[in-house]
Structure 1
Amino acid sequence: MTFEYSPFGWPEPGAAWLEATEFLDHEHPAVRAFAHDAVGDARGTREKAVRLFDAVRDRIRYDPYHIRMKPEWFRASTVLQDGRAFCIPKAVLLAAAARAVGIPSAVGLSDVTNHLNSPKLRERMGGREIFLDHGWAALCIDGKWLKASPAFNAELCARMKVPPTDFDGEHDAVLQAMDAQGRQQMTYLRDHGVWSDLPYERIRLDFEGYYPGSLWLAGPSATEFGAGN
């Protein structure tokens, strides 16, 4: 069962936010192994969350052309097996890994604009300026919910001269508003809420109604940055 919560508040961090689900399949051996390897000897919820964020951000390569609109491609275990993903599956993996070490988590969706979007990806998106349903994870750390977006791996950010998104376990870690040259990069337009499991059908219907099918039939992987989703 998927539990939706209003974007105007945060849920109580109960059992619904720790369970294994269809997409946050943290009981899968690969997800549990990934989470415990990433956490290592970390002590305390905050340090564990930071290490998980870094692991998902940098071990899973961000690829906005690698979109597959089948449920299995959005599961945390599949993301690990594939090693590359766009923002929504990476958020799912972070949320699942957090639950694997006892940190309540959720999947959040927002609409954003990326002012550095590449012409190639914009064309693939059908000329759309808004990235619909950008995915991020919400982590409950010491009773406080925080937003954490592990989308852009540090290696990619360095190549494109954009500072990586860092997470300190005390403040939200959302995608960069500015690049290294001070140019506006990302604007969050609206939040849609958080879910205890990925609302796959909502995302599928949103994508099929908003983007051309070529977005998830792209074929080769990305070699450029230019994407907020």
Structure 2
Amino acid sequence: MKNYLKKTICLDFDSKEVQALIAEFKTNDIDEIEKAKGIYLKIRDEWRYNPYSISFDAEKYKASTIAQRDEGHCVDKAILLAACLRGLNIPSRLRFAKVTNHIAVEKLTERFGTNVLTPHGMVEVYLNQKWLKATPAFNKELCEMCNVKPLEFDGENDSMFQEYNGDGQQFMEYLEDYGHFDDVPLTFMRDNMMEHYPEVFNSNKVDYSF
């Protein structure tokens, strides 16, 4: 379990940026579950979801760097949540998957040539002697625009994705599970994206920094 509490280069929870985020939860007045729920909501809604930016600059995948922005894609927000949880002494790890988005995909398909998102990032948090999945990717405002209920995390059950929107139309579908990681797997992420988005990488619009 120690691996899931330690500081890493990317999960730099001792930084002033991450410490500022978790300051309100560093109290004995609320238990671990309430802390996890609170920081989940904070990251879900205070960072807008933006899936269109790809970078291989390792500095951009540090939690302290992400904390200084006001938007990020699913991996960014998962990194930030995992770091915050560790900063609150709650074990956490990253989990990646391949998913399909079925709603509002025109811009996504134009950018990546497909409606498949990979790697899709979420967090696993250890509460009450079990690992739970928490996915803070989609902020409340975006969900309302897409007629989808915001994804909640109750600290007792997995919170992975919204399968349907309010009209019963399929919203997201999980295609492949890549497993969990105790740190940000930068090389895996690069290789995975290069495999799935060759047109993007052949366009020389991606910064290769690791």
Is the TM value for this pair above 0.5? yes
Q: Is the 8 A contact 1:45 1:142 kept in 2?
A: no
- CA positional deviation for 1:83: 1.7
Tell me if 1:172 matches 2:155: no
In the TM superposition, what whole-angstrom CA distance separates every residue of 1:136-181 from its partner, at most 9, and x where no partner exists?
A: 0110012110000100001121222211000000011112001111
- CA positional deviation for 1:69: 2.4
Alignment of 1:1-229 (within 5 A): 14-37=1-24, 43-126=30-113, 128-211=114-197, 212-213=199-200, 217=205
Q: Is the 8 A contact 2:51 2:72 kept in 1?
A: yes
Percent of paired sites with the same residue: 36
Matched residue count: 204
Secondary structure of 1:33's counterpart equals helix
C-alpha distance in 1 between matches for 2:7 and 2:65 = 15
Structure 1, unaligned runs of 5 or more: 1-13, 219-229
Q: Is the 8 A contact 1:18 1:103 kept in 2?
A: yes
In the TM superposition, what whole-angstrom CA distance separates every residue of 1:26-83 from its partner, at most 9, and x where no partner exists?
A: 0111101101235667511111100010011011111112332211111111111112
After TM superposition, the structure 1 stretch with the greater mean CA deviation from structure 2, 185-194 or 96-105, is 185-194
- CA positional deviation for 1:116: 1.2
Q: Which has the higher contact order (CA 8 A, sep 6+)?
A: 1
C-alpha distance in 2 between matches for 1:118 and 1:217 = 21
C-alpha distance in 2 between matches for 1:59 and 1:101 = 19
Q: Is the 8 A contact 2:34 2:155 kept in 1?
A: yes
Over the aligned positions, Cα root-mean-square deviation in angstroms equals 1.9
Q: Is the 8 A contact 1:115 1:185 kept in 2?
A: yes
AA at the equivalent of 2:142: L
C-alpha distance in 2 between matches for 1:33 and 1:181 = 39
Report the TM-score when normalising by structure 2: 0.91
AA at the equivalent of 2:159: A
4+ aligned runs moved over 3 Å, structure 1: 38-42, 214-218
Cα 1:15–1:131 change in 2 (3 A) is same
Cα 1:40–1:216 change in 2 (3 A) is farther
C-alpha distance in 2 between matches for 1:180 and 1:217 = 36
AA at the equivalent of 1:45: E
Structure 2, unaligned runs of 5 or more: none
